[in-house]
Amino acid sequence: RSIKSLATSPSSHILRRGYASEAVPDRKVAVLGAAGGIGQPLALLMKLNPLVSSLALYDIANTPGVAADVGHINTRSEVSGYSGEAELGKALEGADVVIIPAGVPRKPGMTRDDLFNINAGIVKGLCQAIAKYCPHVSIEILLKQVCLYATALVNMISNPVNSTVPIAAEVLKKAGKYDEKRLFGVTTLDVVRAKTFYAGKAKVPVAEVNVPVVGGHAGITILPLFSQATPKANLSDAEITALTKRTQDGGTEVVEAKAGKGSATLSMAYAGAIFADACLKGLNGAPDVVECSYVQSTITELPFFASKVPRCFAPLSDVALVRLGKNGVEEVLGLGPLSDYEKEGLEKLKPELQSSIEKGIKFANQ
Ligand code: NAD
Ligand code: LMR
């Protein structure tokens, strides 16, 4: 059963606003796990995003109510709700960005890796569907394949991210649809936390703060680089150590405060919406879109690593196909100068991250 509700939207499919007065193209965003603790507020935030023209909300149950509710908001996008596996294909068809917060959250005393047994299977199934139903565009110029767009941009939120992203990569590889430039582990919440905690300690306006967070998304694999934080502040070693630890344990802080009722949902929805917005801006050709994300990487010896990723996506529309080769340049930025404390943290995180990556790859290939 699909619920379609058309919010008050402009008669034209193209909106004019934003950077360089370019036309804003139609963009479909699908949220898988949309009826959950993250899914619902994330659906709300994506409904508020003027870059979205179509919002597909999918879950195994309870999506019609969420879609009907969100669909009454008078913003641009058309909202559709999809319930149950039989409707997954329709939810994914034509999606530009697929956000995945499907899966179980932690309870106190659990690690993110304790979620692996349930969430790995969920993510595997969803990625198989993404490979099957999401657009696959390639162009041939003079018998040469210049670009191959394998699927929508996949924003993986489901934990353990350190393993679910490698699982997604393997599943997409098997289906011949993997493009490493289009798969992201969402680590934005670590950045959001690092900014908040740093602003509080450094007594600087939080809106001005930037802190890169690299590595992975679990415990010590989360490595905030406070030595590169701006605005600069004279914090002691002890303060930096405390800030680092609080950022690494931010998820656990929320899990414990919620006392068995789940993990971060509202701050995660906010972070997920920021990252999806960056993806949409990148797709639409906005310049200098830079976010931290856990992606396939060569900046360390680990095959996946979170770092600053500027993305210059060329749009998936016909108009843009000619520009793909020229403007589809993507680069994973290096780590920049690290303090001795951060260098030590980097070496410490590698074995854990490596083993989470291997665990994901092994599971996907079973
Ligand atoms: P939740 O239990 O409230 O919601 C999960 C939703 O997923 C439910 O509505 C459930 O029906 C749905 N679901 C289960 N199997 C599904 C499937 N096969 N297809 C589609 N939907 C399915 O949990 P939550 O609090 O929203 O957390 C979701 C996940 O996000 C957890 O794994 C959690 O650990 C993770 N998380 C990640 C971050 C991050 O920073 N990356 C932050 C917070 C939470
Ligand atoms: C978080 O960082 O809040 C999430 O990864 C959820 C969790 O289990 O901590």
CA nearest ligand 1 atom 31, residue:
105
CA nearest ligand 1 atom 35, residue:
158
Closest-lying ligand 1 atom to the alpha carbon of residue 122: 18
pLDDT for 47-68, tens place per residue?
Answer: 999 999 999 999 999 999 999 9
CA nearest ligand 1 atom 25, residue:
37
Distance between CA atoms of residues 240 and 346, nearest Å: 15
Q: How far is the centre of ligand 1, averaged over its atoms, from the C-alpha of 75 (Å)?
A: 26
Q: How far is the centre of ligand 1, averaged over its atoms, from the C-alpha of 39 (Å)?
A: 7
Among residues 272, 215, 295, the alpha carbon closest in space to that of 247 is found at: 215
Q: How far is the centre of ligand 1, averaged over its atoms, from the C-alpha of 209 (Å)?
A: 29
Ligand nearest to the CA of 32: 1
Could you report the predicted ipTM of this complex, rounded to two decimals? 0.99
Task: Classify the C-alpha dihedral 208-213-218-219 as positive or negative.
Answer: negative
**How would you classify the pairing of strands 23-24 and 137-141?**
unpaired
Distance between CA atoms of residues 187 and 303, nearest Å: 16
Ligand nearest to the CA of 126: 1
Task: Identify the residue whose tokens are 């992201």.
Answer: 184
Pocket of ligand 2 (CB under 6 A): 105-106, 112, 159, 189, 250-251, 254-255, 263-264
Q: Dump strand ranges (E) for 151-298.
A: 153-156, 183-185, 213-215, 222-224, 290-296
* Mean of pLDDT values over 156-168: 97
Distance between CA atoms of residues 212 and 350, nearest Å: 18
Whole-model pTM: value is 0.90
Closest-lying ligand 2 atom to the alpha carbon of residue 190: 2
Q: Is residue 6 scored above 60 in pLDDT?
A: no
pLDDT for 166-225, tens place per residue?
Answer: 999 999 999 988 888 889 999 999 999 999 999 999 999 999 999 999 999 999 999 999
Task: Find all residues with CB under 8 Å of 154, minimum gap 6, and list them.
Answer: 98, 100, 127, 130, 168, 182, 183, 184
CA nearest ligand 2 atom 5, residue:
251
pLDDT of residue 143: 57
Pocket of ligand 1 (CB under 6 A): 32-33, 35-39, 59-61, 101-106, 115, 119, 122, 125-126, 157-159, 161, 186, 189, 217, 262-265, 268
Q: How far is the centre of ligand 2, averaged over its atoms, from the C-alpha of 361 (Å)?
A: 22
Distance between CA atoms of residues 84 and 104, nearest Å: 17
CA nearest ligand 2 atom 4, residue:
251
Please list the active-site residues.
Answer: 217
Distance between CA atoms of residues 182 and 164, nearest Å: 15
pLDDT for 318-337, tens place per residue?
Answer: 222 211 222 222 566 678 89
Q: How far is the centre of ligand 1, averaged over its atoms, from the C-alpha of 195 (Å)?
A: 24
